[in-house]
Amino acid sequence: MKPPRSVAQALADASRHLKQAGIADPARDARILMAHALNVERSRLTLMQPEPMPPDAQARLDSMLAARSAHQPVAQITGERAFFGHRFCVTPAVLDPRPETETLVATALEGAFRTVLDLGTGSGCILLSLLSERHAASGIGSDLSESALEVARRNAERLGIGRAEFIQSDWFSNIKGRFDLIVSNPPYIAQAEMPALAKDVFEWEPHMALTPGPDGLKAYREIVAKAVSFLHRGGRLLVETGPRQAIRVSGLFRGAGFDDVRIVKDLDGRDRVVQGRLM
């Protein structure tokens, strides 16, 4: 009688399958999907490799491999993504939270705030990460997409954060009041650059969260110009940018009257966040 396939064999086959499909890091993705199929932490996979692969787990893995071979992002397949020490629900309605965006959160936490507005909140990962570190603070996350707001509300409930309100709004259109801190990771990819994106992004992530139009600066112009009417004196505005946009965006900050404007690099040394203070 033929012995059952081991976890190690199934993992090796999964990695080969993804490699043949043109996935950039097949071994990593195979491990993530395998752990999800087995419902275990990735750290346990090494110990489990000699064990037989359960048939139900193999069926789940096969389904996920088919999705990943079609370049659906891993986070959409597993339904979650780790970000700033938490796990966030992810669906096709929101951007996959990216490690470079943690630079925005870390920079925002360098200063004090009691009230925060997150424009284009998506999954809510920025706002909820900030509130998880500032227990006396409260905030609003706005987004034009009601589907995205549903994901953000689910993440707030999942993390047990009741100090966040989520509002459907086209940037500031439905926002009232003033804040100590305004943050945003707006769409910033120029329209002409969209076809060059990886299939995982171009074919699966919401385009309204990726590109604002021709030059990639439309959202920054509106956010920076209007933020002065929604910040307390001494309040800060922080936005994530593409590496080639930070200098131009910092110019928008200065033109709108912000002081102490600076560019913050991410862990790869690329310009990533522009910060300014309303004096």
> What pLDDT score does 13 carry?
97
- Give the separation between CA 205 and CA 73, rounded to whole angstroms: 9
CA distance 63 to 25: 19
The distance in angstroms from the start CA to the end CA of the chain is 78
Q: Which residue has the tokens 């009691």?
A: 114
Is 97 within 8 Å of 83 (Cβ atoms)?
yes
pLDDT averaged over every residue in the chain:
94
b/e burial code for range 164-186 (CB count within 10 A of at least 16 → b):
bebeebebbeebeeebbbbbbbb
Lowest mean pLDDT across 13-27, 118-132, 189-203, 238-252: 189-203
214 has a pLDDT exceeding 70: no
For residue 32, the model assigns a pLDDT of: 97
Residue 3 pLDDT grade (very low, low, confident, very high; cuts 50, 70, 90): low
Helices (H) and strands (E) in the chain, counts: 11, 9
Residue 251 clears pLDDT 70, i.e. is over it: yes
Q: What does the pLDDT average to over 251-263?
A: 97
pLDDT of residue 205: 80
- On whether the CB atoms of residues 130 and 116 are closer than 8 A, the answer is yes
pTM of the model: 0.91
Determine contact, residues 134/105, Cβ cutoff 8 Å: no
Distance between CA atoms of 218 and 195, rounded to whole angstroms?
19
